[in-house]
Chains A and B, each alone.
Chain A
Amino acid sequence: MDEIKEVSLEMKDYIVSSGAETLSWCMQCGLCTNLCPWRLVPGEISEAFNIRKMQRLGQLGLEGFEDENVLFACATCGMCLVNCPRKVEIIDNVRSMRNTTVAAGFLPANLRPIAGSLHANGNPWSGAHEKRAEWQEGLNIPAFSDDTEYLLYVCCTSCFDTRSQKIAKSIVNLLQKAGVSFGVLTAEENCCGETIRKLGDEELFQKLAESNIKLFNGKGVKKIITTSPHCLYAFKKDYPELGGNYEVVHYAELLGDLLKQGKISFSTELAKKVTFHDPCYLGRHNQVYDPQRELLKAVPGVEFVELGRNKEKSLCCAGGGGRVWAEAPMGERFGELRITDAVDKQADILVTACPYCIAMLDDACAGLEKGDVLKVMEMSELLNASL
């Protein structure tokens, strides 16, 4: 048993007041722990982090949750919420618990450059703000205006990472082929702030969100297409309380509709066995499961197989909740399990629809040296190849 440390009701109240309103609902049954992906990997973080125990420490205002391996381990994948008998908003609680230390100026060292870059550049990738729109070069995308229906909001990762830029470009091409009326404001945008909010830096989130809302509202944005499920989450679930009310869709949802309406079709045959990794923020957090599958099945020649853990049971890639900037040793990365899942299904291509997932899965595939049997692709890239 751990040594009992300081108990403070004041601390509990502080956590609750930071947004952990459902903290006391938890009755410590441990169904969350059973579902937590950290239970699937060994190692130091896995040993330190127990989501049920973390809630308990918070409930009691007991020291110990602020250990970096506890407080910042959660990937906010939402798996814990699936069976929770009390519908405890565990992720909000984690966010609030993080907020207690982050608001006092104690973001872990590895996250300081990220927060710093968000402050200075409006993106977490230390990219110069003036280079945000560089990915668009040669694409001829109109600026968003009264004449365009949708704003296409491109995730920071796809603005700055050359690998990820291909996603943005593919999505643009698909939307153009389908005749969608859209424009961009990339150069003026800031990060949506989803992840920094999950990391507990509420102040920085508000700063980012307010600047985006001011921009969007000023330009008359009503509908937004996001390239990342994380931006989808932010605009849909975080922005309304700050005065940003938009009709937001992930590009997969929109393309799914266009497919049904016959406005887009795929012709080039792709005789491959394809499987899909459900991004947590597209699936569990936003309940989008079907359009991706319909789109992939619409590609001629594609043999679609489901991964064992799919849809609401999908296993996290470990890129959420700020974990995309965290370091877990080889053998302790969820992404590796995911690559193994896909290889076990003898899939040729593992498709997903999230820039973070791509980064994590690419990395895991390279680390496991499975590149010769499995290709990791973002859905837009695969669809684009079949246009």
Chain B
Amino acid sequence: MNIVVLIKQTFDTEAKIVLDANGKIDANGVNLIINPYDEYAIEEGIRLKEKLGGEVTVVTLGGARAQEAVRTALAMGVDKGVVVSDPAIDTSDDWANVEIIAKAVAQIPFDIILSGRIAIDDGASQTAVRLAEALSVPSVSSVIKLEATGDQLVATREIDGGTELIEVALPAVITAQKGLNEPRYPSVAGIMKAKKKPLKTLTLADLGLSAGDLAPKMVVTKMTLPDPRKAGIRIPGEAADAAKELAKLLHEEAKVL
């Protein structure tokens, strides 16, 4: 089985978000990690390979440091890595990214494409499903359980308040939700071996694309930071009154309910 795992390198979950002089997110000095949901996808890809044989290729789109993420995936047990790196990616939107990835993936034989259900940076949750469409294959998103045979998948996906069981013929795209598996730590041998595994770097030109093909559909007009946290307040009064007041504040002021 040929397995492709689409991953993204994101800011570490603790990263402090700062805007630079241009009002853009400042990535300077920020620690980068593999998007945690993509780790489930990597793990599932490796498990599928372990069960059914074949090869796992990880594909990512990113800057100079994206190779680190791919090396990490290789250490976990992925066989090959592909990094598409091009300055044009800095301003591309979800649609354009999918155009690029679709071209890159088209060069790799695939039966199943796995990815995380969401990236914790932009939170867009679009790429994998869009990619399925771009490649004209079905997709199942937010999967928490996956059973695969040679030519079909049975996936349990999370929906609001329950689950769905979906059967789909291969090839297909699956997005991983937390709970699908527990990503492994690589053996040290795996880490050593990863240093020697093939890692291919491609530019847009290598994929027959140019920046002009990728005019974004969506543009970011500005970025802002949340208002600073207000000083906490103690709600006075007896239990009943305080509880009522609290409920009101949460609903009307904080708007979290």
Among the 9-residue stretches A117-125, A138-146, A249-257, A269-277, the one with 4 or more Cβ atoms under 8 Å from chain B is: A117-125
Asked if B80 is at the interface of the complex by the 8 Å CB criterion, the answer is no
Interface residues of A in 167-205 (CB under 8 A from B): 204
With a CB–CB cut-off of 8 A, which chain A residues contact B127?
Answer: none
- State the majority secondary structure of interface residues on A: helix
- What 0/1 readout, one digit per residue, does chain B (11-33) give for beta carbons within 8 Å of chain A? 01111100000000000011101
Cβ of B235 under 8 Å from chain A: no
Minimal beta-carbon separation of B14 from chain A (angstroms): 3
Q: Chain B residues near A66 (CB, 8 Å)? A: 185-188
- B189-A63 in contact (CB<8A): yes
Question: Are A6 and B189 neighbours in the complex by a CB distance under 8 Å?
Answer: yes
B194 at the interface (CB under 8 A from A): yes
Interface size class of B (residues with CB under 8 A): 20 to 34
- Contact at A116–B14, with CB atoms within 8 Å? yes
Is A65 engaged at the interface, CB distance under 8 Å to the other chain?
yes
Asked whether any CB of chain A lies closer than 8 Å to the CB of B192, the reply is yes
Q: Is the CB of A126 within 8 A of B189?
A: no
Q: Is B206 an interface residue (CB 8 A)?
A: no
B157 CB–A CB distance under 8 Å: no
Q: Which residues of A contact B185 (CB under 8 A)?
A: 66, 68, 101, 106, 108
**Minimal Cβ-Cβ distance residue in A for B194:** A104
Total interface residues on A, CB under 8 Å, equals 27
| Distance in Å: Cβ of B64 to nearest Cβ of chain A | 16
Residue interface bits B62-84, CB-to-A below 8 A is 1, else 0: 00000011011001000000000
Smallest Cβ distance from B35 to chain A, in angstroms?
Answer: 13
Question: What's the least CB distance linking B117 to chain A, in Å?
Answer: 18
Q: What's the least CB distance linking A214 to chain B, in Å?
A: 14
Which residue of chain A has its CB nearest to the CB of B185? A106
- Bound CA–CA A11/B192 (angstroms): 7
Contacts of B71 in A (CB 8 A): 104-105
Interface residue B191 (Cβ < 8 Å from any Cβ of A): yes
Closest chain-A Cβ to B78's Cβ sits at a distance in Å of: 13
Contacts A105-B68, A106-B72, A119-B31 given: A100-B14 contact, CB under 8 Å? Answer: no
A8 is an interface residue with CB less than 8 A from chain B: yes
Minimal beta-carbon separation of A119 from chain B (angstroms): 4
For the A-B complex, the count of residue pairs with Cβ-Cβ distances under 8 Å equals: 79
Could you tell me if B187 and A106 are in contact, using CB atoms closer than 8 angstroms?
Answer: no
Q: Does A243 contact B (CB under 8 A)?
A: no
Q: Considering the complex, which residues of chain B in the window 113-170 have a beta carbon less than 8 Å from any beta carbon of chain A?
A: none
B14 touches A121 (CB 8 A): yes
A-side contacts of B186, CB under 8 Å? 66, 101, 104, 106
Question: Which residues on A sit within 8 Å (CB–CB) of B189?
Answer: 5-6, 8, 11, 63
Residue of chain B at shortest CB distance from A106: B185
Write out the residue numbers on chain B whose beta carbons fall within 8 Å of the beta carbon of A120: 12, 14-16, 30-31
User: What chain B residues lie within 8 Å of A105 (beta carbons)?
Assistant: 33-34, 68-69, 71-72, 75
CB distance from B20 to the nearest CB of A (A): 16
- Give complex CA distance A115, B29 in Å: 13
**In the assembled complex, which residues on chain A have CB atoms less than 8 Å from the CB atom of B187?**
5-6, 63, 66
Report chain B residues within 8 Å CB of A266.
none
Give bound CA distance, A344 to B30, whole Å: 49
Residues of chain A within 8 A of B194, CB atoms compared: 104
Q: Assess whether B191 is in contact with A104, with CB atoms less than 8 Å apart.
A: yes
- Once the chains bind, are B13 and A116 in contact (CB under 8 Å)? yes
Task: Tell me the smallest distance from the CB of A50 to a CB of chain B, in Å.
Answer: 17
| Cα–Cα, bound, A100→B191 (Å) | 8
Decide if A87 is an interface residue (CB 8 Å cutoff): no
B12 near A8 (CB under 8 angstroms)? no
Most buried by B among A14, A101, A120, A129: A120
- Out of B34, B72, B75, B188, name the residue touching A11 (CB < 8 Å): B188
Contact of A10 with B192 in the complex, beta carbons under 8 Å: yes
Check B16–A112 contact: CB distance below 8 A: no
Which chain B residues numbered 1 to 57 have a C-beta less than 8 Å away from chain A?
12-16, 29-31, 33-34
Known: A101-B188, A106-B186. 8 other contacts (CB 8 A): A8-B192, A66-B186, A105-B33, A105-B71, A112-B14, A115-B12, A119-B31, A120-B16
Task: Name 8 A/B residue pairs within 8 A (Cβ), A-sorted.
Answer: A63-B187, A65-B188, A66-B185, A104-B75, A104-B194, A106-B185, A119-B31, A120-B15
